[in-house]
Structure 1
Amino acid sequence: MASTSPSAAPSSSSAHPHYDRLIASARALPPLRVAVVHPTNAMSIEAALASAELGLIAPVLVGPRARIEAAAQEAGASIAHLTIVDAPHSHAAADAAVAMALRGEVDALMKGSLHTDELMGAVVRREGGLRTSRRISHCFVMDVPGHAQPLIISDAAINIAPTLEDKVDIVQNAIDLAHALHMPEVRVAILSATETVNPKVPSTLDAAALCKMADRGQITGAQLDGPLALDNAIDAEAARIKGIVDSPVAGHANVLIVPDLHAGNLLAKSLSFLGGALAAGIVLGTKVPVILTSRADSESARLASCAVASMLAKAGRDGTIKAVG
């Protein structure tokens, strides 16, 4: 699994209007009950408290009580009002948090200071984990300064070299997330290095197959097109120059499906560290949302990830989407 943290800088209202709207929408919902797994450093304590102060989450801290209390002291924060579920170490904390989710005691999980593999190992366990019939995938919701709409990018963190079968679920998970975030139209670009089908480039064959599967109703809830190169997926003039004029997606895509983890991770980090984008990360295809934060995340990115989880959980409760639960 790759680093889940492309966000480089704090948000500002002028630079990230999509972020501001996301936070406002999530704050209108009841706080999400979140198990914060192994929050044994100051940063993870601060992230949980900041999200709670905004009314985004109601955190339950899961991990070694003494280390959690020491981390809170290091952060200069009071956690006396929060519930602590004592667990001896990180693996036990991950197992306990997953069990709490299965019992309906929390609505989401949030990574603290343990390794991503430790948390996801408990999540993906076939017996007693949080698997659904969907393949588990990851999405970044990115607010790129100057871009007219937020972008969902999948999968830049979990699936290394997804097969066509994997990509069906990756696409459907991303579509469901777009609906949970109330995107008025969901336009999915299946990305490759070229916009033409080339048997020597397997990702173009996958893109063509995915689009035909959408035509047949095997993927629902969005308009798909592909293969598309990145330029003609998000820029209308680039699409026009390339002669792609009869497409509801080209030039206007708001969901970008990458060929593999390498492409997705590079794209997300390029947008963040070179383009000043803010990214919220979420795991999909699980029974409850899983918020993957990282030491490199800004506070704004952590808050945005909690907001995305809140809206995703609500959509699952309401039956708006099928990916959660």
Structure 2
Amino acid sequence: MSTPDAKTPSKYDLLIARARETRDVVTVVAHPCDESSLRGPVDAGHEGLITPLLVGPEGKIRAVATDHGIDLTGIQIVDAPHSHAAAAKAVALIREGKGEVLMKGSLHTDEFMREITASATGLRTDRRISHVFVMDVPGHEDTLFITDAAINIFPDLETKRDIVQNAIDLLHSLGIAEPRVAILSAVETVTGKIPSTIEAAALCKMAERGQITGGLLEGPLAFDNAIDPEAARIKGIGGPVAGRAQVLVVPDLEAGNMLAKNLSFLSHADAAGVVLGARVPIVLTSRADSVRTRLASCAVAALDAEARRTASPKVAAE
């Protein structure tokens, strides 16, 4: 597998450069109380990608910053006594229009998402919430967007419709006018023995009927003939998506999680990501994320927030 020339900007470098051009995207960070969860948004702020607003125990946040040499000059902190209060306050600040991106700090994902999905006080919309991995795979021409490998465990057809639409809308915000979407399964033929092939065919028909808009869908496709033109040619699969897919829609969370981790650990891909379908884009951080991956996640969220702002200036102010 070839690797990019060191002088050639990577896919993430290009995203980060574009995000620097966005206007003051305030990012509310819930409970950044360890080094990695604090350094990520602070570094992104210093890079000009976001304006972090930190929510959590102020004394603890400042102590972590002091212990690890993190400069908090000019960064606002909203005091909250513990992780649950920090998550609730962060979501409330978004609802009040005080921020356009929400970011997870050093609290459990379940605790964080519980506040986001609360029916009365959360950030739900009429869409199902879903996650997209934004993967920079060495040697592969296109950025790969894998969904959903983090939120929906066994999504039904209606949920998959939202998963697909969320991903398409994200790619629009990144400047891709007509995303190429592959609905993955184990095979490329429709068979009642593999339910995901039937759902893939249904999703493509939904796109034909206008229930999914803005992208080119093809499926079912196996992974090889979704991303490799020669594999698609050998199987006799034509069209604009086969062999050239940008979005890979997986059958379920298990398949997506294994695919993303295989690319990360065997192909040394970077895996940024963002949660979609809520009132604002949401960054889920991991302690295993590199600095570059954290910056890329913030960049993707900032670009999505900018696109939402352009489409509807009051998106975060309801």
TM-score between the two structures when normalised by the length of structure 2? 0.95
* Residue 204 of structure 1: how far off its partner (Å): 0.3
Say if 2:177 and 2:214, in contact at 8 Å, map to a contact too. no
Say if 2:182 and 2:218, in contact at 8 Å, map to a contact too. yes
User: Does the alignment pair 1:141 with 2:141?
Assistant: no
Q: Note the residue ranges of structure 1 that are not aligned, 5 or more in a row.
A: 1-10
Q: Could you tell me which amino acid in structure 2 is paired with residue 112 of structure 1?
A: G
- Alignment match, 1:20: 13
Identity %: 59
- Alignment match, 1:303: 295
User: Does the alignment pair 1:290 with 2:290?
Assistant: no
For 1:205 and 1:16, the matched residues in 2 are separated by 40
Report Cα offsets for 1:215-258 as digits up to 9, x if no partner. Answer: 0010000110100000000111101101112x221011100000
For 2:25 and 2:264, the matched residues in 1 are separated by 27
For 2:177 and 2:230, the matched residues in 1 are separated by 22
- Alignment match, 1:107: 100
Q: Could you tell me which amino acid in structure 2 is paired with residue 141 of structure 1?
A: V
Q: Could you tell me which amino acid in structure 2 is paired with residue 92 of structure 1?
A: A
Q: Using the TM superposition, name which of 144-153 and 221-230 deviates more.
A: 144-153
* Residue 16 of structure 1: how far off its partner (Å): 6.5
User: Does the alignment pair 1:150 with 2:143?
Assistant: yes
Where in structure 2 are the equivalents of 1:1-325 lying within 5 Å?
17-245=10-238, 247-319=239-311
For 1:170 and 1:210, the matched residues in 2 are separated by 11
Q: Residues 16, 205 of structure 1: CA spacing in aligned structure 2 closer, same or farther, 3 A cutoff? A: farther
* Residue 13 of structure 1: how far off its partner (Å): 5.3
* Residue 280 of structure 1: how far off its partner (Å): 1.3
Q: Could you tell me which amino acid in structure 1 is paired with residue 77 of structure 2?
A: I
Secondary structure of the 2:191 match is: coil
RMSD: 1.7
Q: Could you tell me which amino acid in structure 1 is paired with residue 216 of structure 2?
A: Q
Secondary structure of the 1:206 match is: helix
For 1:160 and 1:15, the matched residues in 2 are separated by 37
Report Cα offsets for 1:161-198 as digits up to 9, x if no partner. Answer: 00011000000000001111112431100000000001
* Residue 12 of structure 1: how far off its partner (Å): 9.3
Q: Using the TM superposition, name which of 71-80 and 226-235 deviates more.
A: 71-80
Say if 1:43 and 1:75, in contact at 8 Å, map to a contact too. no
* Residue 30 of structure 1: how far off its partner (Å): 1.9
Secondary structure of the 1:117 match is: helix
Q: Residues 209, 14 of structure 1: CA spacing in aligned structure 2 closer, same or farther, 3 A cutoff? A: farther
Say if 1:40 and 1:71, in contact at 8 Å, map to a contact too. yes
Say if 2:276 and 2:282, in contact at 8 Å, map to a contact too. yes
Q: Note the residue ranges of structure 2 that are not aligned, 5 or more in a row.
A: none
- Alignment match, 1:7: none
Say if 1:139 and 1:283, in contact at 8 Å, map to a contact too. yes
* Residue 44 of structure 1: how far off its partner (Å): 1.6
Q: Using the TM superposition, name which of 39-48 and 86-95 deviates more.
A: 39-48
